Structure 1
Amino acid sequence: MFSQIEIDLKKLDNNLKQMTGPRHPILNAAAEHLFKAGGKRIRPSIILLVAKATNNKTELKNEHKRLAEITEIIHTASLLHDDVIDECNTRRGMETVNSEFSNKIAVLAGDFLFAQSSWYLANLNNLEVVKIISKVITDFAEGEVTQGLTNFDTSISMDNYINKSFYKTASLIASSCKASTILNDADLFTQNAFYNYGKHIGLAFQIIDDILDIIGNSTTLGKPAGLDLKNGNLTSPLLFALKESEILNELVEREFSEDGDLKYGIKIIKSTNGIKQATDLAIEHTQTAIKYITGCKESEALNDLKKISEFIINRLN
């Protein structure tokens, strides 16, 4: 699916491992630790494909390549902070930075990467792009605070969940998609079309992640399964399942505090329609994403952007 940007993605990987800089050995080692673990690189892939889909030239601009790197740096910085908040010990099959070093180093490394991304962002010399991407970092913080205030709260609505998912995941993809079109001097219609594409692809991606937290295992996830449940992060599969199970409501309200509660809670969710309803919701968002870019000029890159929706849903298989 990403064959046309394969070389660019390899260069991106090399650049990410180098661009943290050697100024402080510990911070550099902490950031590099997570970059070396790799990842799906779905965000920079989308950014590069949007750049190709909205550009008449075959060659990508250097600004697009740097935007893709900035997007991955911001995402990685948010993971460093997430792992501290969630007390997560493994990520991408490796020890997390907070586990390998300390919580303090992980938070500082995350701050360092956010600052580094801001520096590279400013050097794009495009004020509109700077404004759009800078807002994402605010959204991350708002999403984390919202999540923290609603832990184990069975009264939260699906709208609350979608809004939180936007702040934590979809905002970065949506804003980066729009920024990619701006760097190509695209008109406002095209900018908004790809912003909405990124928004709904991001929401679908988060929903599938939340389903995998329930049905996956530590080997396939690269992190402990059931972590969201354990931390009281009520996701779509759980919210749908709560409507069918009074016992599940009781388990959440006592915060899975008794032995076997978490395992029993996962079993209950799997026995309800929660997984199917959450999957249907993710599919709905991928279909909405595709609708937004259907009227755009046909190209190989546009077709690959449409295929990403299938890739996201197929993560469940």
Structure 2
Amino acid sequence: MTSATSLFSPIEADLRLLTENLKQLVGVRHPILYAAAEHLFGAGGKRLRPAIVLLLSRATMPTQEITAKHRRLAEITEMIHTASLVHDDVIDEAELRRGVPTVHSSFGNRVAVLAGDFLFAQSSWYLANLDNLAVVKLLSQVIMDLAEGEILQGLNRFDTSLSIEAYLEKSYYKTASLIANSSKAAGLLSGVSPEMASDLYSYGRHIGLAFQIVDDILDFTGSSDSLGKPAVSDLKSGNLTAPVLYALEEKPYLETLIEREFAQDEDLDQAIAIVESSQGIPRSRELAAHHARSAVQHLTHVPPSESRQALIELADYVLSRLY
């Protein structure tokens, strides 16, 4: 299995610089916010989103060095992602993220909400300073999509009538929009054609959806240690994901358990057992594989390079997390 580290070897130096810069960007003027940022940006994580931006920047600038604006876009992408995680953890009352205490469990809800707001505001400021209106519009849309995804998730808790299409729409807002729009933005900074920009957007969209579906499968098949958070936390909180929605199609009793919000002692364990004995997980794997394959098809017109190859292998890496 390819590791994220070896996959990102063409941009290893870029990612090291990114990590240094992120802490500097947040700045030392606010000690508590700086502490929160250091906590966040030091918590490991795969840096998947900025890595995709950097790989696409290099793949679309094969004969030139990437610009300072490409690097700043990668940093902005990670800041927006991190801000959304801080707010998600407050809403979900999550105690752990990537195996370390969340910002709100370390610093309290007030600081966590403000830290998330601060990162969103700061990312918007750096975004405006790119002086590229098309890129500003793309990443501003992402911030709206993140909020919309969180609202949709809140409104649809324990809703057994949710369709796979509605689940994918919510997954787009919460995960894929940032990857899709920052991928397209990287291309725009490289001066690619409108057709190529559209392909880069589609690559990011499909990779993002595959990544989210895999995450939702791992919520059932992964251990709390490997997930860095409690397992089956989505189902418990009423967030119905692909494995559950597919299981509902063949196991009607699951609907009863979900609609009474696992009120009785054995309800949650019973629901997990039903999902695991259904075709929910295999069908979700196939859905993730479909999106991973679709992503790769959108790289056809990108010129061959080490970075393009890494982007192709990334699709396999996303799926390999299941095995």
**Fold-level similarity (TM above 0.5):** yes
Question: SS at 2:298's partner residue?
Answer: helix
Q: Distance in 2 between matches of 1:235 and 1:122?
A: 35
**How many pairs align?**
317
Correspondent of 1:157 among 157, 163, 168: 163
2:175, 2:212 within 8 Å by CA — same for their partners in 1?
Answer: yes
1:267: which partner in 2?
273
Higher mean C-alpha displacement, 268-277 vs 240-249 = 240-249
Please list every run of 5 or more consecutive structure 2 residues that lacks an aligned counterpart in the other structure.
1-6
Deviations 1:121-152 (A, max 9, x none): 11111111111101100000111111111100
Higher mean C-alpha displacement, 241-250 vs 283-292 = 241-250
Shift of 1:32: 2.0
Spell out the pairing of 1:110-149 with structure 2 (5 A cutoff). 110-149=116-155
2:24: which partner in 1?
18
The one-letter amino acid of 1:37's match is A
Shift of 1:31: 2.4
Shift of 1:244: 1.6
1:226, 1:262 within 8 Å by CA — same for their partners in 2?
Answer: no
1:294: which partner in 2?
300
1:97: which partner in 2?
103
2:40, 2:103 within 8 Å by CA — same for their partners in 1?
Answer: yes
1:54, 1:181 within 8 Å by CA — same for their partners in 2?
Answer: yes
The one-letter amino acid of 1:131's match is K
Percent sequence identity over aligned pairs: 57
Shift of 1:58: 4.2
Q: Distance in 1 between matches of 2:266 and 2:306?
A: 50
Deviations 1:10-42 (A, max 9, x none): 111111222211222222212221111020111
1:33: which partner in 2?
39
Q: Distance in 2 between matches of 1:203 and 1:119?
A: 28
Correspondent of 2:10 among 1, 4, 23: 4
Shift of 1:256: 1.6
Matched, 1:200 2:174: no
Q: Distance in 2 between matches of 1:65 and 1:16?
A: 11
Higher mean C-alpha displacement, 247-256 vs 230-239 = 247-256
2:262: which partner in 1?
256
Q: Distance in 2 between matches of 1:261 and 1:116?
A: 44
The one-letter amino acid of 2:291's match is H
Q: Distance in 1 between matches of 2:278 and 2:122?
A: 45
Q: Distance in 2 between matches of 1:99 and 1:260?
A: 29
1:224: which partner in 2?
230
Runs of 4+ in 1 over 3 A off after TM superposition: none
Question: SS at 1:298's partner residue?
Answer: coil
Q: Distance in 2 between matches of 1:56 and 1:213?
A: 38
2:243, 2:280 within 8 Å by CA — same for their partners in 1?
Answer: yes
With structure 1 as the length reference, what TM-score do the two structures score? 0.98
Question: SS at 1:19's partner residue?
Answer: helix
Q: Distance in 1 between matches of 2:270 and 2:26?
A: 43
In angstroms, what is the RMSD of aligned CA positions? 1.0
Correspondent of 1:282 among 280, 288, 296: 288
Correspondent of 2:178 among 168, 172, 193: 172
Please list every run of 5 or more consecutive structure 1 residues that lacks an aligned counterpart in the other structure.
none
2:83, 2:120 within 8 Å by CA — same for their partners in 1?
Answer: yes
Q: Distance in 1 between matches of 2:19 and 2:220?
A: 30
